[in-house]
Amino acid sequence: MPIPDFSQVLGLQFNTEIVEDLRDDEGNKLDGLCDFQTRTIYIDKHAPNKEQVYLHELGHAVFERASLTQHHDWCTKLEELLVDIPAKVISENFILIPKFANSLKLDENKDETNPRK
Ligand SMILES: [Zn+2]
């Protein structure tokens, strides 16, 4: 599945960046991250299923844009389930074709840096 270089989420654009060695603020390794401040979905270059990671992070963007993101522990866990399960099922069953954007190159043998840079 091609990963678009940007996505529209309830009227706002979120860009996608494939990055080397993605980590959170505590230094923990991550497969993906949705940064609401910069409206960027980051995906680690070495994540095993980048398409599923993209869909998962897009789900977080939808939750944030719909003002459904809550910062209570049980809400965070519920949001993780609600974004992860559809991401898995969609990536198991569908090939997505970006509507507006270019696709990011994901070939493991080629340079995966963002083609816009
Ligand atoms: Zn998540």
Give CB contacts under 8 A, 24+ apart, made by 27-34: 32/56, 32/57, 33/57, 34/58, 34/60, 34/61, 34/64
Q: Give a yes or no: residue 112 inside a domain.
A: no
Q: Give a yes or no: residue 111 inside a domain.
A: no
Structural domain for 67, as ranges:
6-93
Predicted confidence at residue 113, as pLDDT, reads 45
Predicted confidence at residue 108, as pLDDT, reads 53
Q: Give a yes or no: residue 105 inside a domain.
A: no
- pTM for the full model? 0.84
Overall domain count for the chain: 1
Taking the centre of ligand 1 as the mean of its atom positions, its distance from the CA of residue 113, in whole angstroms, is 23
Taking the centre of ligand 1 as the mean of its atom positions, its distance from the CA of residue 44, in whole angstroms, is 14
The total number of residues shown for the chain amounts to: 117
Helix or strand run (H / E) with residue 63? helix 50-65
Walk along the chain (117 residues) and give the pLDDT tens digit of each residue.
Answer: 689 999 999 999 999 999 999 999 999 999 999 999 999 999 999 999 999 999 999 999 999 999 998 888 889 999 999 999 999 999 999 988 888 778 786 655 444 444 444
Q: Give a yes or no: residue 58 inside a domain.
A: yes
Predicted confidence at residue 114, as pLDDT, reads 44
- Longest Cα pair distance anywhere in the chain, in angstroms? 41
Taking the centre of ligand 1 as the mean of its atom positions, its distance from the CA of residue 34, in whole angstroms, is 8
Rounded CA gap, 32 and 63, in Å? Answer: 16
Taking alpha carbons only, the member of 45, 15, 51 closest to residue 30 is 45
